[in-house]
Amino acid sequence: MFKLDRLKLRSFNLPLVSFLLASVSAAAAQSYKIESKDLQATLELSTLSLDVRHLSAGVTWRMSREGDKEFVYEEQGQIHEVSLADSKKKVVTQLGRESLLVTLADFRLEILFSIDQASNELTFKLTPLEEDHRFKIKGIIYPRPYDVPLNSDSYSFFGHEQGYLIPGNWTQAEDVCNPIQFDDPQRFDLFGELMGHPTHWWDHQEWDQAGLIYGLRMALFGAVQPESGFLATVDDNCRMDNFIHVRHTPGKPTCYRIMWRPSLGAFSYPRTIRYYFEKDAGYVSLIKHFREYYRKLGYLKTLAEKNRENPNVEKLRGGINLRTQISRKDHRNFQWQLYNSFHRVGEMVEEFQRKVGYDRAALGFTGWQRYGHDQEYPDIMPPMMYAGGPEGLDSLARKVKALGYIFGLATDNYCDIALDSPSFDEEVTLKNSLGKYIRRSTWGAGVNSLICPVWAMRFLRRNFEVGRTDYPAVRGLLDTAAPQHYLLGNYVCNWECYDPRHPLTRNESRRAEGEIFDYFRQKGILLTIEHHNDWVVPWLVAARTRSAHEVAYGRDAEGRMVGVPIPLWQLAFHDCTYVAGDDYLHGLLWGAAAGMGLPVPEQQERIDRVLLAARLQRAVGWDEMTNHRFLSRDYTVQETTFSSGAKVWVDFKSGKFKIAGVEGISPEERQAQADR
């Protein structure tokens, strides 16, 4: 059980110092202190480790001394991987009692350590100095992790997917967001040599795809031990330039590596991360601090606020998401199948209204594009001719809207471009540091490359506003079906482009993606993204949250869950985005949107359980999730609390649940029924 405290956000300001108290060489002293009324940090110069004493809690956080290969630089064309502590020219400048500047002259790097009195935050700021064609910083893995005690009352937590924690005494080995070459660098060095493109963690873009190494949906991580906890947040200006690799070995403290990558081949500008320390903290109170930080940044836009812009947001609250498929083609197994026509989907929606009699629903279906699901991106028009073509899709859209339901389409994609797409041209693709376009791995759509975000908007507007101008001419989606809701696949990306015609840093790429998201808002279309991200919350109406899983070897499938799932996303953004659940019990626990596959199930008990989930979400869909706690030592019994006072209790071992504080739902204990 974890304590939830109310927090007040205090603005962060680096201390302004008008004079230098001291400037000494590395040989003069081996440790330095900075402090505030509640924190005292000690820098051990020989290792460049910064230990933190949390004074009010009486707890010391010890930084790992392991810094092997944490600093990567290129000098005269040669790559070097060393520890920051290997610098031979360390100069320490004390800036008052709250700040310390360490200059590594031979590494052309400054590290500013500072503590803010008001916010109780410790800041690490890494700033490059005088990079040029002879010397460039290629990557930094710093600050190092803080050790967590090896007991059940201590844990680390991370913002991958919906969030998870790893107890200090966790007996399962974990390896999350591991760049592939970490496991077998010799294999990938050889691969890069034979295939002629980079294979390092700091410059290999092909591994930098949503859902592969960048599963960090929230720019945070943290740790808790008895009496003290901290939350680390990545500064918004360098949000896109890092990823975090987590590795847990039973019997050792959980290790996490904050990997800062260069921008177009050089470090170029500062990387900043802030650690907020709180007495008697838990992940709930710490994520609420993150929520307030994001409110300050302007990213906390609630569903109620979004509804004022687009009243269809309200129609999704408590709505049942109706799912089906039109067609699917898969290049991996050479199969193609037509499941439904547009006319048949309309009949199934009418059947839903007759049988279920529920007044709120949203239709979303895949495989409506020209060649079916995930084919020939970005060339999706005209709609599948075998299913009824443009006229059939238009008729379906009109029917769904006339029934009072939301008409939506899923999925579309402006990240990938298939090599067999009519629009494929090397000019529109991302280029790596060698000037080559990236050939992404073969998946359902065949061999793919990646669209530079500068070009993505052109393809989006072509599909929505123009359509096709060859024979037969077809209008765009806005005229053909005018979708009210849309699922974009495989966003958010974390890319840079080296093409001299359209070069992009990751931050510039982020702005280009923001223009795509804003396009949907301007057109009055509610947006869901397959791989959500915290900074996209102002544009999103729904997020497909899920627990972090291992990847099954050699398969496009998921293995077991990582660590202990916790609803960090929901605790931060439940009232900002409708969420989905991993399964029925998780969906209830999170107050997630209800879903039903079409055709309507024959069993009434299956219909009833969907209706129960829909009624719960109708009651709490705009609520803030105020608390989550574990009620058993094995983490199987959990409870969530919402701002309206509603509570959901779930026992994952027995399959039982209770809902309390929701008008119209009886609070008795119930048994969840398995799908049949």
Instruction: State the helix-helix crossing angle for 342-356 and 604-620, rounded to 10 degrees.
Output: 80
CA-CA distances (angstroms) from residue 395 to 2, 193, 344, 353, 390?
52, 54, 11, 18, 9
CB 542 within 8 A of CB 577: yes
Q: What is the pTM of this model?
A: 0.92
Identify the sign of the CA torsion 621, 624, 630, 631.
negative
Strands 320-325 and 594-597: parallel
Q: Tokens standing for 365?
A: 């279906």
In sequence order, the 6+-apart residues with CB closer than 8 A to the CB of 503 are: 264, 497
Give residue 182's pLDDT: 62
C-alpha 351 chain-centroid distance: 37
Q: Tokens standing for 174?
A: 């974990």
The Cα–Cα gap between 586 and 530 comes to 19
Q: CATH assignment of 22-178+213-297?
A: 2.70.98.10
Report whether the peptide linkage leading into residue 620 is cis, meaning its omega lies within 30 degrees of zero: no
CB 83 within 8 A of CB 69: yes
96-128 burial: b if 16+ Cβ within 10 Å, else e: eebbbbbbbeebbbbbbbbbbbebbbbbbbbbb
- Give 54-57 contacts, CB < 8 A, sequence gap 24+: 54/227, 54/228, 54/277, 54/279, 56/279, 57/227, 57/228, 57/277, 57/279, 57/280
Among residues 623, 645, 628, 621, the alpha carbon closest in space to that of 568 is found at 628
The Cα–Cα gap between 434 and 207 comes to 16
For the chain, where do the domains classified as CATH 2.70.98.10 start and end? 22-178+213-297
Could you give phi then psi for residue 308, rounded to 5 degrees? -65, -25
The Cα–Cα gap between 568 and 640 comes to 12
Could you give phi then psi for residue 584, rounded to 5 degrees? -65, -45
369-380 burial: b if 16+ Cβ within 10 Å, else e: bbbbbbbbbbbb
- Give 38-47 contacts, CB < 8 A, sequence gap 24+: 38/120, 38/277, 39/115, 39/120, 39/122, 39/277, 41/113, 41/115, 41/122, 43/92, 43/100, 43/102, 43/113, 45/90, 45/92, 45/102, 46/85, 47/85
Could you give phi then psi for residue 53, rounded to 5 degrees? -100, 115
Give residue 333's pLDDT: 80
Give residue 13's pLDDT: 40
The Cα–Cα gap between 401 and 398 comes to 5
Q: Where is 360: in which H helix or E strand? A: none
Could you give phi then psi for residue 176, rounded to 5 degrees? -115, 135
Cβ neighbours around 64 below 10 Å, total: 16
Q: Tokens standing for 657?
A: 């649940």
The Cα–Cα gap between 83 and 70 comes to 5
Report whether the peptide linkage leading into residue 143 is cis, meaning its omega lies within 30 degrees of zero: yes
The DSSP output letter for 466 is: I
Read off the pLDDT of residues 464-521 as tens digits, 9 standing for 90 and up: 999 988 888 999 999 999 999 999 987 788 788 999 999 999 999 999 999 999 999 9
CA dihedral 42, 45, 50, 53 (to 10 degrees): -20
CA dihedral 204, 205, 210, 211 (to 10 degrees): -20
Strands 578-579 and 540-543: parallel
CATH architecture for the domain at 328-544 = Alpha-Beta Barrel (3.20)
For the chain, where do the domains classified as CATH 3.20.20.80 start and end? 328-544
Read off the pLDDT of residues 563-612 as tens digits, 9 standing for 90 and up: 999 999 999 999 999 998 889 999 999 999 999 999 999 999 999 999 99
In sequence order, the 6+-apart residues with CB closer than 8 A to the CB of 522 are: none
Residues of the chain with pLDDT under 50: 1-28, 210-213, 676
Instruction: Give the length of the chain.
Output: 676
Give the largest Cα separation in the chain, rounded: 83
The Cα–Cα gap between 128 and 662 comes to 55
Give residue 205's pLDDT: 62
